[in-house]
């Protein structure tokens, strides 16, 4: 089965809100266990897996100003929120008999290893799931950008952006029932059309390094499995030669 894999090394980006499930905040244990089991399916095939999780289910730095907190402090609080989510997912993966390593962009040696690129790659080669916490370690950068950066650094074959919809649409399908699904799109077209897939910095980083992005519904069972074994799932974001009218 390992020889039939479309992607050998991947970076999965999950939003913090995804861990909350139907709740407005916090972590839903059932959702957490579901994600761990989905990860286990592809890990069993030999896929090398890196994961970045947001912290929006606990704290969102962008909303800090409205609470009287300056942006830098708010972003730092958001980084700590990603560590809470990362620890929760690490525990869920280990409860499902997978070896993991949690690496942090901010030194907190009692709970996570410091992020060192060569060490992260070595963990992946040893079939350990690597969870990257604390974003980039700097304010003003989103976890989408952190995911793109880590994916480039570990030389991932693809970055998988997990969402609650089947991929990229020309408008919000939750608000517009006539929204059209886009199966394939270029980085440049995303930027031109201001589609809110990932932030500008993240998309630009992927484009500059020719790192493919796949946007899919991470809440559907077996979607990750289907993707890594070659099925056409979600929306593929590729180089700028794609016809922008497609």
Q: pLDDT tens-digit profile of 143-170?
A: 999 999 999 999 999 999 999 899 999 8
Residue 244 lies in a domain: no
What is the chain's Cα-based Rg?
Answer: 17
Residue 245 lies in a domain: no
Tens digit of each residue's pLDDT (9 = 90 or more) over 113-126: 999 999 999 999 99
Write down the pLDDT at residue 149. 98
Residue 246 lies in a domain: no
| Number of residues that this document lists for the chain | 246
Q: pTM of the full predicted structure?
A: 0.92
Write down the pLDDT at residue 245. 45
Domain count for the chain: 1
Contact at 8 Å (CB) between 128 and 154? Answer: no
- Residue 140 Ramachandran class (φ > 0 left, ψ -120 to 50 alpha, else beta): left
Determine the structural domain holding residue 89 and report its residue range. Answer: 2-238
Residue 243 lies in a domain: no
CATH code: domain of residue 149: 3.40.1160.10
Quote the tokens at residue 240: 């700028």
Write down the pLDDT at residue 67. 74
> Mean pLDDT, to the nearest integer, of 13-29?
91
Tens digit of each residue's pLDDT (9 = 90 or more) over 50-88: 999 999 999 875 566 667 889 899 999 999 999 999 999
């Amino acid at each position: 089965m390992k020889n039939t894999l479309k992607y050998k090394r991947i970076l999965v980006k999950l939003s913090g809100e995804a861990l909350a499930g139907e709740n407005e905040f916090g972590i839903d244990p059932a959702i957490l266990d579901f994600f761990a089991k989905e990860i286990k399916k592809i890990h069993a095939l030999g896929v090398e897996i890196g994961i970045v999780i947001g912290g929006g289910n606990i704290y969102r730095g962008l909303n800090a100003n409205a609470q009287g907190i300056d942006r830098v402090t708010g972003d730092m609080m958001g980084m700590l929120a990603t560590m809470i989510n990362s620890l929760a997912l690490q525990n869920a993966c280990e409860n499902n008999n997978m070896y993991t390593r949690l690496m942090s962009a901010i030194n907190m040696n009692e709970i996570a290893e410091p992020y060192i690129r060569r060490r992260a790659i070595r963990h992946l080669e040893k079939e350990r799931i690597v969870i990257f916490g604390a974003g980039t370690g700097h304010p003003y950068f989103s976890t989408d950008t952190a995911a793109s950066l880590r994916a480039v650094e570990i030389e991932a074959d693809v970055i998988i952006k997990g969402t609650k919809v089947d991929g990229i649409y020309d408008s919000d399908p939750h608000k517009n029932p006539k929204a059209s699904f886009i199966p394939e799109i270029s980085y440049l077209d995303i930027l031109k059309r201001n589609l809110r897939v990932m932030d500008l910095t993240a998309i630009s980083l992927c484009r500059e390094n020719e790192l493919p992005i796949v946007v899919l519904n991470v809440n559907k069972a077996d979607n990750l499995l289907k993707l890594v074994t070659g099925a056409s799932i979600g929306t593929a974001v590729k180089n700028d030669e794609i016809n922008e009218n497609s």
